[in-house]
Structure 1
Amino acid sequence: MPENTAVALQPAYDFSLAALRDSDRDRYLACLLSPQDKRGPLSALYAFHAEIARVRDLVREPLPGEIRLQWWRDVLEDPTGVSGEGNPLAEALLACVKSHKLPVPVLQNMIDARIFDLYDDPMESRASLEGYAGETASALIQLASLILDPAEAQNSASAAGHAGVAQAIAGLLLLLPLHRRRGQVYFPAELLAATGLDRDGFLSGENEQSVSLAICAFAGLGREHLAKARAAAASISPANRYAFTALALAEPVFDRAERAGAKLFEHSIVPPQWRRQWWMWRAARSGRW
């Protein structure tokens, strides 16, 4: 990118980095651990992801949430960029998309996947969960790779796919107390059935043994994808390892969820900030997660 273009984009990227610090502290740290010249565009991408991921937190009914998500679709579909004018985060995202040639359909699919968050429909199957994670967390890793090392991004697609599912499952375990209060269930119906539960039985939490088994099975699914991501890690270029930094949090979350079992409904298992920073710093330096 020409130096004058980078200077012109700096205010927008400064805003997205500041917004990310407030909306997704872990990916904010992932930005700071990445090469300095990549932090701005990465922050724009990550802040956009955080913005659409928190829409359910901002609305009381699904329709206003769908309107918010549609606004982002309109921004991405407008070739003039006028739709995003006046919104610093949208301007930063559009600048990132343009300068790094990010595929807009992937971003649009990410938006569409978030419609599921607005409703309390069940997650029907493992395939449905993996598809949801693929269009959100996996896509985010792959888009970050296009920013970091586009020439090698395709080589890490398999690792990104599995890493994203593992990361999504870890995130859903962290949010389980909140989702239960809302009546949301991201656990696949077939997984619940295998432990003798249905949606209502899971949310009631009355059968603690079965709930604990379901949580362990869900964490086990995350571990399965984490193992596959690790098996494919050799295909990740050194520069693109930074796209995977936040994955360092997945295994500790699985450990904590399995120990908590049904108690996870009532007690947070979010690791302390200093531990998360240490795990991510170590992953950024070593490329191992």
Structure 2
Amino acid sequence: MSRAELDAARIDGPELRASYQRCRALHERHGRTYFLATRLLPPARRPAIHALYGFARWADDIVDGESGARPGAERALAEVEDQLERGLRDGSGEHPVVAAVVDTARRYALDPELFRAFMASMRMDLTVTGYADFAALRRYMYGSAAVIGLMVLPVLGTAVPRERAAPHAAALGEAFQLTNFLRDVAEDLDRGRVYLPADMLAAHGVDRDRLLWCRARRQGDPAVRAALAEVVALNRSGYREAAPGVPMLAPASRPCVATAFTLYQGILDEIESADYDVWSARRAVPVGRRLRVALPAVARTVAARLTAPPLPAPTATD
């Protein structure tokens, strides 16, 4: 199936095609919810999404080990950043993942500053282990999530001037990531990090030690549940901020984003249904619900492709 996507996107050359296929494999393995939604995009647009997700995941894996930043991560990340800068300047990449993302950046004229902001947030993960308040967390999420929404926006296409849709795309990137932070509280603690605003936790009498107590016992307590409920409410306000952007997208892309929008909020539903137990299991949307969301989206995708003008497949010379 990836061959058909590469053909539709007019991606030529065995090395470059292999680079995109590597990114697709990273996306399929690590981003199940969004990978499912990406299947609703026109085939010509999927490789670019795979490249952007694959690069972000690859860089994140360079930084993270099971107990925090990997040994040698600072040097490895500097090498990635150097390769990326040269690639964005020269139009090619040495590492396969860099080669694919650089090609995508050229095809869609992505602003290099977005990649620099992303790498800055990756560097923060080498030293920062907590965030005093939501403003501090948002500064991190701008580079780690909001810019991903801004990178993806030209790939999806818009039915309005792009600058109108951009704030909503950035908000959706942040909302997706905050959902991941809520789902992965326990896993992030194992790496020595807390991606929840410390002041919001403290308002309920919760600190890092209390979270570690919950992690050790694989269960929460009333104070922690109340704190997590407040962060979930904050997260839902982010989705409300992002929602007006979905109808601003090109019709062919709306079912994809609407599906991801629904499924990610479904993770919040699962956390709430479990009484904010993020300790004993990793909360995910059940397969049956995913199918109930995805199947109607397939019908909307077919309708959009029949009635809307097709999105063109950009080339590296565009």
Please report how far the alpha carbon of residue 282 of structure 1 lies from its aligned counterpart in structure 2 after TM superposition: 4.5
Q: How far apart in 2 are the matches of 1:175 and 1:157?
A: 27
Query: Which secondary structure state, in structure 1, belongs to the residue aligned with residue 168 of structure 2?
Result: helix
Provide the residue aligned with 1:237 in structure 2. 250
- 2:122 is aligned with 1:114: yes
Match of 1:211 among 214, 224, 233: 224
- 2:197 is aligned with 1:188: yes
> Alpha carbons of 1:89 and 1:182: their partners in 2 closer, same or farther (altered >3 Å)?
closer
Contact kept in structure 2, 1:24 and 1:47, CA below 8 Å: no
Question: For each residue in 1:65-119, what CA deviation from the matched residue of structure 2 results, as whole angstroms up to 9, or x when unmatched?
Answer: 222322221122112356x32x221111111111211111101211211233334
Amino acid at match of 2:206: L
> Alpha carbons of 1:11 and 1:179: their partners in 2 closer, same or farther (altered >3 Å)?
closer
Match of 1:37 among 28, 36, 44: 44
- 2:149 is aligned with 1:141: yes
- 2:161 is aligned with 1:166: no
> Alpha carbons of 1:55 and 1:4: their partners in 2 closer, same or farther (altered >3 Å)?
closer
Query: Which secondary structure state, in structure 1, belongs to the residue aligned with residue 125 of structure 2?
Result: helix
Provide the residue aligned with 1:55 in structure 2. 62
- Segments of 5+ residues of structure 1 without an aligned counterpart are none
Provide the residue aligned with 1:80 in structure 2. 90
Provide the residue aligned with 1:275 in structure 2. 289
- Segments of 5+ residues of structure 2 without an aligned counterpart are 1-6, 302-318
Provide the residue aligned with 2:273 in structure 1. 259
Provide the residue aligned with 1:176 in structure 2. 185
> Alpha carbons of 1:44 and 1:225: their partners in 2 closer, same or farther (altered >3 Å)?
same
Question: For each residue in 1:10-50, what CA deviation from the matched residue of structure 2 results, as whole angstroms up to 9, or x when unmatched?
Answer: 34323322232223233332332211111112211111111
Please report how far the alpha carbon of residue 215 of structure 1 lies from its aligned counterpart in structure 2 after TM superposition: 0.9
TM-score, reference length from structure 2: 0.78
Provide the residue aligned with 2:239 in structure 1. 226
Contact kept in structure 2, 1:159 and 1:229, CA below 8 Å: yes
Q: How far apart in 1 are the matches of 2:276 and 2:258?
A: 30
Contact kept in structure 2, 1:153 and 1:240, CA below 8 Å: no
RMSD over aligned Cα atoms: 2.9
Provide the residue aligned with 1:200 in structure 2. 209
- 2:138 is aligned with 1:130: yes
> Alpha carbons of 1:273 and 1:74: their partners in 2 closer, same or farther (altered >3 Å)?
farther
Contact kept in structure 2, 1:30 and 1:280, CA below 8 Å: yes
Q: How does 1:6-21 map to 2 (within 5 A)?
A: 6-8=11-13, 9-21=16-28
Amino acid at match of 1:7: D
Please report how far the alpha carbon of residue 182 of structure 1 lies from its aligned counterpart in structure 2 after TM superposition: 2.9
Contact kept in structure 1, 2:156 and 2:250, CA below 8 Å: no
Greater mean alpha carbon deviation, residues 134-143 or residues 41-50: 134-143
Of Structure 1 and Structure 2, which has the larger fraction of its residues in helix?
A: 1
Aligned positions, number: 284
Query: Which secondary structure state, in structure 2, belongs to the residue aligned with residue 102 of structure 1?
Result: coil
Q: How far apart in 1 are the matches of 2:9 and 2:181?
A: 42
> Alpha carbons of 1:182 and 1:81: their partners in 2 closer, same or farther (altered >3 Å)?
same
> Alpha carbons of 1:153 and 1:72: their partners in 2 closer, same or farther (altered >3 Å)?
farther
> Alpha carbons of 1:281 and 1:93: their partners in 2 closer, same or farther (altered >3 Å)?
farther
Q: Percent identity?
A: 24
Provide the residue aligned with 2:262 in structure 1. 248
